[in-house]
Structure 1
Amino acid sequence: MPDKLPEMDPSKPFGFLLTHAKLDIEASLDTYPNLDVSDKNTIEEYRFSDDSILRVISEEEIGQMVAHYSVAETNLTHSNLHMRVGALCVIQDKWSDQGSVLDFYEHAAFEDPMPQVRGTAFRLLSKTKEIHKSKFINVIEDMLKRRFSISEVMIPKMLAKLWMESLFDICNDLKYKRYKENFKNRKLEFLADEYLDEMTQSRQASLDQLHGNDPNLRRAAIMLLSEYWNPTEEFFEDCHTIALTDIDSEVRCIAVGCLNNHFKKTKNKRVLQTLAQIVSDVSQPNNLRDISYQKMFQVNDMPVLEWPVTRHAMGNYHFPDDIDWSFVNNFL
């Protein structure tokens, strides 16, 4: 894989860009398999995430970029490629409302000498917030005109829109491919090997196992339907029911985690009600009630310092003695 892009062929911009974008995205996935871009605003939120960037950049360095936009911007040109990637991620997480963000992504995607940085920029562009999509199309349109001398006759805006959609498809396809590979490689005791190929090839097969008799396969089905297949409203309805009524407590835990992952920071009343019901049900296992209580704080977008896991780390939270029942009852 080349460290630098070869000269662009002005006659074939569309295929050229997508081919090299795919190579770069694969390089980024190899180095940073988990980029948890989810509007993190504090170093505590990074600390409690499973973000690959924490393995190559110190908490102190991330904290400085989270606290100061100028530090993140300066690190976009740092000599260390991990620092440049970290700066891109923090800017997407914390500073995405800054007007120059898309310019940074474009420069990193097309100018950076390292494929890991270029690929990360493409991955972050595919996660661009909806309000930035039209701006992104304009950026790509301008890039096509400037770099490839695309004329108005060729309808550059339409080409830009198609290119953006193709880039997003590539990112999603690679993400699902990697997820499938990782899923196969994990030694998940609860998943019978003979069902894995079928469940990753057919969404319906995963749905069938979601309502099957084997609790291990139900757990696997929730994971696949949540992370591998695009989750639907019907699936989330199933998760509510499973979280409350499945006879296996481990299956209920997986369902609770799924609801939290998809509705974190949304203050979704239905999810909060389901979690509050579990916390209030003393017949449920304490570990499930504790997990549900902790997830309530994340779904309700509470400050990280108020999270039970944070308070527990500081020695002032123990379940169930320290449950804030007024908080829980507010959602029942």
Structure 2
Amino acid sequence: MILVTGGLGFIGAHVARALLALGESCLLTRHSAAPRDVPDGAVAERLDMTDRDAFLALGARYAITGIVHLASTPLHGADVVAEMRANTSGLLNAFDAARAWGVRRVCVASTIGVYAGVRGTPFREDAPLPPGVPHPIPAFKRSAEALASAIAGHADFEAVCLRIGAVWGPGGRADSPFFAIPGLVNAAVRAEPYAKKVYAGDGIDALYAPDCGRAIALLQTAGTLHHAIYNVGSGRVTTNAEAAAAIGKAVPGAPIEMAEGRSPESPDEDYRLDVARLHADTGFTPAHGIDGAVADYVTWLGGRTEDSPDR
């Protein structure tokens, strides 16, 4: 059984479904009360990841063989020290549990944000990271990667860090502050113009959420991994113009307005992740191109009701 902390959240739910599709059973945790839609084949528990005793007690009730640690406390509150402490405590408890349970591998969520300040794209996992981080989230993720590397070097389990890029799709934000695709699709389904100014030439390495879940599931279950850090992305840039064309096919007549060219604030090159390691060690390639992803997301949005919980 694979423990997925945060397994009832956005990315965690997709990881759970992918693990189940691979024949694994799953234990999913969330700090708040569990929503109604726990996937068939999975069980859910409420867990405060900072409570070491409660974390370790899971091993007395379930035969856990692997851990995907996605749970975190959002690092945008007034007390950043308390949030850093909570996230570090949760991470160390996951490692403590792995040691106590004899777990083979712990996958730890990191972020594309750790590449802040790196020049040149695609971003490679072996790129030197410059000192200083402008935001608490990538700052914590860098520290988590350092702790994972140090602890795994003195433990009987593998610690694998996942630098996850721009993920969108079912259960995610209806609008992202970082890229336009989810907001464009949601606006089209509502038959409304998108409220923000969008440039057709801007793009990003956007990964559809079910593909992200499958990539992480493959990394967790692979027989052999040759690295301690993996980028999780599509490996290509999807432009806003490509997204608009896909939306036009899925939602004919959608009111989409875009400025030509690129935003004056956009970088010289759109960010993308080098996913050669991921492909070589798992065989992963995205199952959804932009047309298929938009069509699938539009269908999902159309099937939701006002009281449907996020998946």
Query: Do the structures match in fold with TM over 0.5?
Result: no
- Name which structure has the greater RCO, CA cutoff 8 Å, separation 6+: 2
What TM-score, normalized to structure 2?
0.33
From the CA coordinates, give the structure whose radius of gyration is larger. Answer: 1
> Which is strand-richer, 1 or 2?
2
> Which is helix-richer, 1 or 2?
1
